[in-house]
Structure 1
């Protein structure tokens, strides 16, 4: 019987593809093995005043994390995320001038009331001064 080289190569490729498709990265075993290392931090940790890198490389850690997440499990070893940055971008002088313009507009709305209060205080001071002067003249 004559075998075609293409036919044998096709079967070999199919068997290799089937083996690769069935192979899963053994993340469960790796997770158990490196559990202590992963809980120490993302990049490393301080021990007795010296910096110790993790026993697992960042590339393998990322691959393990990806496999765990793809399998639908949760990955508790990521550090807590910081709050979003609330500082605004741009020039400070632009923000301050906009705030000043807004405050000026607000104060202009209150201006008639403020002027009335000022006139009332001024009138009261004038009346008090006149009363004090009248008392002094009576006492003399």
Structure 2
């Protein structure tokens, strides 16, 4: 009972520090394999230390000025912003329309040429029949 009182008094005075070195040494093998856990012989093994205690140890280590190498690598941040699908589609349609309008004179010329060739071919076919 007296030791509990002394610890609480020491905590309030700031003398007592969380023994992060001991905890880190105890769970260093698990943390080096993976922060949340790891696969062992085809089965998922949870980390030997809970997330709350891992965070507490991490905080103590960083406050002590030490390095914490057990954080997982971060994924690259997403640069494309989310939005409504209808806005994206309408923007794509506008861009596609502008591109097609640039090609329109050539498309009309090709259409007239095909129509003219079809008409000539039909006339040639009628001339051969007679």
- Counterpart pick for 1:96 among 58, 72, 89: 89
Alignment of 1:1-140 (within 5 A): 20=15, 29-45=22-38, 53-69=46-62, 71=65, 73=67, 75-85=68-78, 88-137=81-130
Cα distance in structure 1, aligned partners of 2:69 and 2:119: 75
TM-score normalised over the length of structure 1:
0.60
Q: Deviations over 1:54-99 (max 9, x none)?
A: 32232332243345556353x4422232343366422111211121
In structure 2, list runs of 5 or more residues that go unmatched: 1-12
Q: CA RMSD in A?
A: 3.2
How many residue pairs match? The answer is 117
SS of the counterpart of 1:34?
helix
CA distance in 2, matches of 1:76, 1:127: 79
Distance (Å, rounded) in 1 between the aligned partners of 2:72 and 2:119: 69
Cα separation, partners in 2 of 1:135 and 1:72, compared to 1, 3 Å: farther
Distance 1:41 1:125 in 2: 71
Q: Aligned partners of 1:115 and 1:48: how far apart in 2?
A: 68
Structure 1, unaligned runs of 5 or more:
1-16
Distance in 2 of aligned mates of 1:86 and 1:127: 56
